[in-house]
């Protein structure tokens, strides 16, 4: 369908897995095509009939606004739904929201609330204020990293997690020894690692945090949507059954199964409604076996890269944005409950590396449905099939190569 014939045009910022998941979900729900803008073409969105990709290596704030202004001029009077898929684009949209809102519908929180939630230190303060479980933490600034007694007398025991609070600045840096998070075993290692990070150009706060031991069994993810009035309307929680073990990619996932966790769903709803949150949110969660409670690690003010699992479970996440903001529908409160296996790696690799206690859950999910974001039967052609097969080979090799980093405790 030509863009000009659509009721609305989804404009996605990014060309990776999340971008294709959004495009597929919206094509399933409304039969529309999506326009994707990004710095580089990526295999996940290549050779597709449901997504048009436009790339420019210079998509910083200034060039991004210019590119979006050009899209708006190309489709005057058309409803344009703007959906960022990664932090850099999300933050750019938030910074330039006032001028972009003249042409685009933007289901993203305002800058003040985004700062409170995206900065991990401030997010934990918000959780504490609202009585939401989160890991015990100590905040370190750059001057504190020079303290000769840093890491001593902590309110929790070693090993501990050390990680940056600023998730926009830190990924933009490149230095030897850089990891997404660090598992450290002594005060001396805390001091050494903190100095390494600051020497690499980082200027924000660091977080020292209790280590919640365990493999995938303690790792969960959630995706939500809150309508334009600030009411949570959609919650989908999944158990990670095969995570990413490369230290530089921790937090990514290779397979999840949707689970029914009513108490956790109620907690997320209470948090978001208390804040008047609007738009999509993506949570990283860990189950603390010592306290038998779910603890919130992180909130991203966009949907997650694996969030097609929610659509696969029978409840289309991106369709919520459209029904709320384009068609003005009243959305029912929906929580996904049907176990479904979402995968981003070959089934043979998943079966081999999923922890034994989670294999029953995987079998249950498979019986209901197995879904892969990229394998969409309405969008397959020889070139795309080859690209998808290469993706399968690449992700399978990646899992096998990075098993050496697995921590089983």
Residue 114 lies inside a defined structural domain of this protein:
no
Helices (H) and strands (E) in the chain, counts: 13, 17
Provide mean pLDDT across the span 360-370: 97
User: Torsion angle, CA of 300/235/322/65, rounded to 10 degrees?
Assistant: 0
Select from 190, 210, 230 the last residue of a domain. 210
Verify that 71 and 177 share a domain, yes or no.
no
Give per-residue pLDDT as tens, 99-133.
999 999 999 999 999 988 988 888 999 999 999 99
Burial of 145-158, coded b for 16+ CB within 10 Å and e otherwise, reads beeeebbeebeeee
Task: State residue 250's pLDDT score.
Answer: 62
Q: CB-based contacts of 387: which residues, under 8 Å, 6+ apart?
A: 43, 46, 47
Contact 306, 241 (CB under 8 A): no
Verify that 203 and 221 share a domain, yes or no.
no
Number of structural domains found in the chain: 3
Residue 241 lies inside a defined structural domain of this protein:
yes
Q: CB-based contacts of 333: which residues, under 8 Å, 6+ apart?
A: 232, 233, 234, 269
Which CATH number goes with the domain that contains 232? Answer: 3.30.470.20
Which CATH number goes with the domain that contains 147? Answer: 3.30.1490.20
**Mean pLDDT over the full length of the chain:** 93
Verify that 22 and 69 share a domain, yes or no.
yes
Q: CB-based contacts of 35: which residues, under 8 Å, 6+ apart?
A: 3, 9, 10, 11, 12, 51, 52, 54, 71
Verify that 283 and 368 share a domain, yes or no.
yes
Residue 122 lies inside a defined structural domain of this protein:
no
Residue 58 lies inside a defined structural domain of this protein:
yes
On the question of a cis peptide bond just before residue 159, with omega within 30 degrees of 0, the verdict is yes
**Percent of the chain having pLDDT more than 70?**
97
Which CATH number goes with the domain that contains 99? Answer: 3.40.50.20
Task: Determine how many CB atoms are found less than 10 A away from the CB of residue 10.
Answer: 28
Give per-residue pLDDT as tens, 260-314.
999 999 999 999 999 999 999 999 999 998 889 999 999 999 999 999 999 999 9
Residue ranges making up the domain that contains 145? 136-210
Verify that 388 and 287 share a domain, yes or no.
yes
Residue 117 lies inside a defined structural domain of this protein:
no
CA pair distance 310, 261, nearest whole angstrom: 14
Verify that 250 and 336 share a domain, yes or no.
yes
Give per-residue pLDDT as tens, 225-249.
999 999 999 999 999 999 876 666 5
> Strands (DSSP E) along 289-376, which ranges?
293-300, 334-335, 341-343, 370-372
Give per-residue pLDDT as tens, 2-21.
898 899 999 999 999 999 99
> Which of 271, 305, 222 lies closest to 124 in space, CA to CA?
271
148: pLDDT strictly greater than 90: no
Verify that 367 and 230 share a domain, yes or no.
yes
Give per-residue pLDDT as tens, 304-363.
999 999 999 999 999 999 999 999 999 999 999 999 999 999 999 999 999 999 999 999
Select from 176, 210, 244 the last residue of a domain. 210
Verify that 283 and 377 share a domain, yes or no.
yes
Residue 409 pLDDT class (50, 70, 90 cuts): very low
Distances in whole angstroms, Cα of residue 43 to Cα of each of 20, 383, 392, 394: 10, 10, 11, 11
CA pair distance 194, 177, nearest whole angstrom: 12
Verify that 187 and 220 share a domain, yes or no.
no
Select from 184, 210, 236 the last residue of a domain. 210
408: pLDDT strictly greater than 60: no
Residue 14 lies inside a defined structural domain of this protein:
yes
Give per-residue pLDDT as tens, 216-226.
999 999 999 99
Give the bridge partners for 341, in sequence order: 257, 370
Verify that 204 and 303 share a domain, yes or no.
no
Give the bridge partners for 40, in sequence order: none
Verify that 235 and 336 share a domain, yes or no.
yes
């Amino acid at each position: 369908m030509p863009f000009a014939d659509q009721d609305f045009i989804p404009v996605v910022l990014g060309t990776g897995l999340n971008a294709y998941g959004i495009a597929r979900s919206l094509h399933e729900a409304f039969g529309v095509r999506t326009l994707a803008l990004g710095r580089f073409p990526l295999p996940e969105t290549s050779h597709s009939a449901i997504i048009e990709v436009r790339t420019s290596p210079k998509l910083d704030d200034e060039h991004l606004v210019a590119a979006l202004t050009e899209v708006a001029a190309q489709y005057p009077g058309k409803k344009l739904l703007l959906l960022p898929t990664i932090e850099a684009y999300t933050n750019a949209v938030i910074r330039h929201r006032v001028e972009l809102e003249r042409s685009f519908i933007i289901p993203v929180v305002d800058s003040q609330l985004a700062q409170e939630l995206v900065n991990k230190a401030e997010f934990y303060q918000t959780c504490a204020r609202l009585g939401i479980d989160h890991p015990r933490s100590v905040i370190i600034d750059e001057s504190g990293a020079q303290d000769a007694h840093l890491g001593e007398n902590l309110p929790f025991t070693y090993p501990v997690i050390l990680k940056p609070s600023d998730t926009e600045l830190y990924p933009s840096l490149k230095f030897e020894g850089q990891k997404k998070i660090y598992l450290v075993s002594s005060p001396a290692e805390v001091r050494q690692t903190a100095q390494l990070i600051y020497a690499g150009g980082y200027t924000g706060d660091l977080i020292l945090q209790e280590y919640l031991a365990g493999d995938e069994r303690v790792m969960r993810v959630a995706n939500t949507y809150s309508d334009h009035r600030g009411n949570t309307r959609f919650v989908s929680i999944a158990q990670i059954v095969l995570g990413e073990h490369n230290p530089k990619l921790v937090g990514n996932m290779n397979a999840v199964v949707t689970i029914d966790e009513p108490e956790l769903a109620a907690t997320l709803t209470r948090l978001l409604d208390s804040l008047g949150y609007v738009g999509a949110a993506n949570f990283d969660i860990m189950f603390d076996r010592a306290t038998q409670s779910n603890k919130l690690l992180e909130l991203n003010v966009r949907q997650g890269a694996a969030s097609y699992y929610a659509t696969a479970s029978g409840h289309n996440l991106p369709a919520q944005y459209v029904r709320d903001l384009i068609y003005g529908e009243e959305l029912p409160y929906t929580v996904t409950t049907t176990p479904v296996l979402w995968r981003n790696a070959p089934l043979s690799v998943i079966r081999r590396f999923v922890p034994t206690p989670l294999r029953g859950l995987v079998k249950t999910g498979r019986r209901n449905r197995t879904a892969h974001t990229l394998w969409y039967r309405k969008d397959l052609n020889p070139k795309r099939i080859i690209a998808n097969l290469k993706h399968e080979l690449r992700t399978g090799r990646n899992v096998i190569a990075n098993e050496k980093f697995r921590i089983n405790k």
